[in-house]
Structure 1
Amino acid sequence: MNWIQNYDPLSSALGSALVAAIPLFILFYMLAVKRAKGHVAAFLGTTSAIVLAIAVWGMPVSLAASATLYGAAYGLFPIVWIVITAVWVYNMTVESGEFEIIKDSLARLTDDRRLQAIFIAFAFGSFIEGTAGFGTPVAITASMLVGLGFNPLYAAGICLIANTAPVAFGAIGIPIIVAGQVTGLDTMHISQIVGRQLPFLSVIVPMWLCVTMCGFKRAMEVLPAVAVAGVCFAGSQFVFSNYHGPTLPDIMSAIVTIIGLVLLLRVWKPATTWRFPGEAEVELSAVSQYSAGDVIRAWMPYIILAVMVFFWGLDGVKKVLDGIFSVSVDWPGLHNLIEKTAPIAAKNAPYAAKYKLNLISAGGTAILLSGLLAVPVMPKYGFDKAIACLFRTFYQLRFPVVTIAMILGLAQIMNYSGMSSTLGIAFTKTGWLFPFFAPLLGWLGVFLTGSDTSSNALFGGMQRATAEAVGVDPHLTVAANSSGGVTGKMISPQSISVATASTNMVGQEGSLFRFTLGHSIAMTLFVCVLTLLQAYPLKGMLP
């Protein structure tokens, strides 16, 4: 006999919701107050969720264990598979010395600090977010800006603010893919809606960065570059998210933006060069030691990656690859053994749990092949070094791997026990205003976990349940969870720690938090209002 979910075990909607939120409170306390490591916080949060699911929601032990393992399995594949291969490609470019050429090529485009911020923090940071994500772009771009002579606080703060527009599509679209997996909604549909929200933010981020650095008047001096960067990025983000999927918006938007800015600088230069008052200048040699061929070669691993990921994302290619090898199994001890009830389902309905192992068509496999194809392009870097680098990357990411697996386990135990639905039912009390609060949940989730992916895993089920209860398109609220989440990245304790470490500002986390807090709140409210409008008067904007 199937186990039936109970959404109000304490006979009080508010009381049950508060108890269901205990694992989230634990995550908040461990991350924001105790500043515990991610895997420690994830372990305590997941453990508490399992205990509550069994003791309060009455979930059988076997189902609770199976649901947690099911989530962890999704965390390991395809998510961790993408993370490991993407970071591996980056690590190879660093070890081979090609990344120094990439940095030099970007720095030589302009010596104006405003334009350098747009190039490196916004455009190049978006490219790294799209390929690796998970803290990598801020670490790279902040250190690059300091190396160019930026004030450390501004280098860190600017990179955190810039790392908003691309986050939802980071790491080859993992946040959107996870949102689809944990909610059962169509991933492409979610991608399309996010692609009709974030471009409104993306188009103003370059101006936002410049105004933050030098004020509105001096920012207007580089208006042509600001406009080109914003329009190129936002336009590309809309096109690829709506007509290709969640895997390439960041990569292609960054490439288009960089090309657009390079072409602009061939015919336009700012009237004056702006630098920070009192900053130490770092002069580059008049002539680069690298030829055009060197620069193209250095970028080749990422060019190959972009091409491979593009083709891997095409439905026709996916079908061919899945025809070679793809296995879908009913998750043992869980599939259809739990029933949803009203108000989450119109009538008792079995809760499916299918696990797909598509090793060949997975995005991580495309990245792995990209890295292997790029090895011969890197001088003095053979396959023996590449394989050794891959093993070092596995070791480097051992704790993030555990964290991701446990966070996905936490998400699924909350989903299958009914705890997410309990929280969602409580939020239905906001009624028609719920679309306004949907991005705030994503913002909170990213603040707690440091990851838009983890936030979607935590709150995706609740967003869907609440939207269905109040009569709003669940794709919109799930998308808003991801769109709102990007604005919480800049104040996440993990992101701030990465930024301070990469700019030699360890111990000044409080200063950086105060630097970014106002920007985070303002951007979040922008997404909240947009989501509310799209739910009702601007519903025609949705696919």
Structure 2
Amino acid sequence: MLVLLSILPILSIFFFLVILRWSARKGMFFSFIITVLIAYFGWQMGVVSITAASLKGVMTALEVGVIVFGAVLLLNVLKESGAVDTIRASFTSISPDRRVQAIIVAWLFGTFLEGAAGWGAPATIVGPLLIALGFPALAAVMIALMLQSTPVSYGAVGTPILVGVNTSLENQPVVDSYIGANGQAMSSFVFDVGAQVSIFHAIVGLFVPLLMSAMLTKFFGKNRSFREGFAIWPFAIFAGLAFVIPFSLVANFLGPEFPSLLGGLIGMAIVIPLARKGFLMPKNIFDFEPRETWRKSWFSDIATEVKPARNISMIKAWMPYVLVALLLVVTRIEALGVRALVSSWVVSFENILGTGINHSLTPFMIPGVVFIVVALLTGVLHGLDGRGMANAFKVSGKTIIAAMAALIVSVPLVQVFINSGINAGGFDSMPLVLAQGAANVFGDSWPLISPAIGALGAFAAGSNTVSNMMFGLFQFGVADQIGANPLYIVALQAVGGAAGNMICVHNVVAASAAAGLIGKEGTLISRLLIPTTFYLVLAGAVGYVWVNGLGLNIGLFLIIVILAVILSMILRSEKRMETN
């Protein structure tokens, strides 16, 4: 009964947002009420504990709000100064093909930002940037959210591994016994987990640029065809390899801090110069239909056509994003000494309402603060007058007000769900009960399911780090029970937690708000279930083979089927190009 009840909060979100297509503001409000009722009557969670968890959620929502506001403010300052036109030209000069632009901006630039900032911040930058390039807002947000997959396990300079996995496993008897028997220290085991995660991600993430292209042409192309997206497969696979190879090498030799950051940077350094020279560029250019034919739901509330008051040089136009990346990196690498300074001010709320629930935040470590600082510096750098800055703040304020209406109920729901372990009935929290039920059902087939549990945690909590905290020890325990190597199962947890970021309500709401797209969260989640399902099934299949070895098993069967489908789509796209 508890297992059935524990899945209701998740099902209610899908029902309201995906099936009924309600806005996040409305759907998450009713899902929050359902979660509270289940916590109170099913888990015997007291009113005080529910209130404390909700307060923690509100404070977390405010942090997310700062990120969204900062990202939108920076974009609006760039619009007011005319820099957006210059940025648009820098990408369209590489290729007018929208598939190529999406891959370069989201996959390469976006993964670099994920490595530096994490916490959903890259999608809030990439979405508005794609809109500025002329993408429909709905397409821009969909593509931006797809980048929240492969690089996420190493977001914010490795936080999901170094904090998420480590916090979940440290000082646990079953873990200490295992690593002690292998003559390892905890730090060494966490390093190995991070290395293994990169291998699983590299195998699956290789295909993400191809999926980005296919999703773009299927839902926003004139012919509504996946095949048009697969037609760019040489460039898409090349862009995938340009990221995942350095990404995996860095994880295995340097550790979990820099795989996404350096992978994205190296990928851009390889792909962009070659793309400018026409390497693997498609012969048939894909573009959207004229704006006047677009559906109403595709448009953003943010104005995209801005007449520049002046010409901004390429260096000046890109300098704000360079500053964002530099400040994010500098403030997150301990060896540089700046992190100790900016993280010295910590606002803590301990034992909220006497429940044992704690919350703390480091204001200057919130990525949104960096965005705001850079936006103010950009106003000076670009010579923007007071009227232009005031207009940027005004438009950004309207955007964040609309976003907070959804976030203010979405994140408290997550916190009630996570903290439901504080109850009078002595029950485990809802996520643990749900995961334990799944383990009982699947047994030795657990490697197939392990990534989905990670995704469940990310969907509920909005964070790969929190998902790893919630389920890391549980995944280790299941591996121990079924006789599998815990290293592989915990790695699959982290991989699934990264993939779940594509559909987690927290990220969908934040990215939509940053792009001025309110009320379409359900549509986005329903579409993003396609790449999310692909990622989880292929990761699970690879994990199953990794644990059980090559042989005639379900894992190998699924891998063959998936690769056959991809190959079939590529061949069909080639045939169509020949007939055209």
1:414 corresponding residue in structure 2: 420
**Distance across 2 between alignment mates of 1:364 and 1:153:** 23
1:482 corresponding residue in structure 2: 497
- Quick check: 1:206–1:226 contact (8 Å CA) kept in 2? yes
**Distance across 2 between alignment mates of 1:124 and 1:499:** 17
- Quick check: 2:205–2:244 contact (8 Å CA) kept in 1? yes
2:268 corresponding residue in structure 1: 258
The code of the aligned residue for 1:359 comes to: P
1:395 aligns with 2:401: yes
| DSSP 3-state at the match of 1:306 | helix
1:274 aligns with 2:289: no
User: How big is the shift at 1:372?
Assistant: 3.0
User: How big is the shift at 1:482?
Assistant: 1.6
**Distance across 2 between alignment mates of 1:367 and 1:198:** 29
**Distance across 1 between alignment mates of 2:370 and 2:311:** 27
Given candidates 317, 328, 332, the residue that maps to 1:309 is 328
| DSSP 3-state at the match of 1:360 | helix
- Quick check: 1:176–1:453 contact (8 Å CA) kept in 2? no
Given candidates 383, 405, 410, the residue that maps to 2:411 is 405
- Quick check: 2:86–2:314 contact (8 Å CA) kept in 1? yes
User: How big is the shift at 1:29?
Assistant: 1.7
For residues 371-406 of structure 1, the C-alpha deviation after alignment (integer angstroms, 9 at most, x for no partner) is 333332223255953655664454243224314432
**Distance across 2 between alignment mates of 1:290 and 1:261:** 33
User: How big is the shift at 1:217?
Assistant: 12
1:438 corresponding residue in structure 2: 450
Given candidates 517, 528, 531, the residue that maps to 2:540 is 528
1:56 aligns with 2:56: no
User: How big is the shift at 1:18?
Assistant: 0.6
**Distance across 1 between alignment mates of 2:141 and 2:58:** 33
- Quick check: 2:53–2:412 contact (8 Å CA) kept in 1? no
The code of the aligned residue for 2:17 comes to: L
**Distance across 1 between alignment mates of 2:492 and 2:438:** 12
The code of the aligned residue for 1:234 comes to: V
The code of the aligned residue for 1:332 comes to: I
Q: CA distance change for structure 1 residues 28 and 40 in 2, over 3 Å: closer, same or farther?
A: same
For residues 135-190 of structure 1, the C-alpha deviation after alignment (integer angstroms, 9 at most, x for no partner) is 6645653774658xxxx999998777666545666799898899679968799868
**Distance across 1 between alignment mates of 2:4 and 2:444:** 22
| DSSP 3-state at the match of 1:356 | strand
1:108 aligns with 2:93: yes
User: How big is the shift at 1:313?
Assistant: 0.9
- Quick check: 1:86–1:367 contact (8 Å CA) kept in 2? yes
User: How big is the shift at 1:529?
Assistant: 2.0
The code of the aligned residue for 1:438 comes to: S
**Distance across 1 between alignment mates of 2:7 and 2:139:** 36
Q: CA distance change for structure 1 residues 239 and 21 in 2, over 3 Å: closer, same or farther?
A: same
- Quick check: 2:205–2:240 contact (8 Å CA) kept in 1? yes
1:96 aligns with 2:81: yes
For residues 287-315 of structure 1, the C-alpha deviation after alignment (integer angstroms, 9 at most, x for no partner) is xx999971121111110000000011112
1:424 aligns with 2:435: yes
User: How big is the shift at 1:17?
Assistant: 0.8
**Distance across 2 between alignment mates of 1:184 and 1:30:** 35
Q: CA distance change for structure 1 residues 108 and 355 in 2, over 3 Å: closer, same or farther?
A: same
| DSSP 3-state at the match of 1:197 | helix
Given candidates 15, 40, 52, the residue that maps to 1:29 is 15
**Distance across 1 between alignment mates of 2:58 and 2:229:** 50
1:68 corresponding residue in structure 2: 54
User: How big is the shift at 1:319?
Assistant: 5.4
- Quick check: 2:2–2:42 contact (8 Å CA) kept in 1? no
Using the aligned pairs only, state the percent identity: 19
Q: CA distance change for structure 1 residues 244 and 299 in 2, over 3 Å: closer, same or farther?
A: farther
1:326 aligns with 2:335: no
**Distance across 2 between alignment mates of 1:278 and 1:59:** 51
The code of the aligned residue for 1:262 comes to: I
Aligned Cα root-mean-square deviation (Å)? 5.1
Structure 1 gap ranges (5+):
1-14, 282-288, 338-352, 539-543
1:205 aligns with 2:208: yes
- Quick check: 1:321–1:361 contact (8 Å CA) kept in 2? no
Q: CA distance change for structure 1 residues 249 and 87 in 2, over 3 Å: closer, same or farther?
A: farther
**Distance across 2 between alignment mates of 1:43 and 1:182:** 31
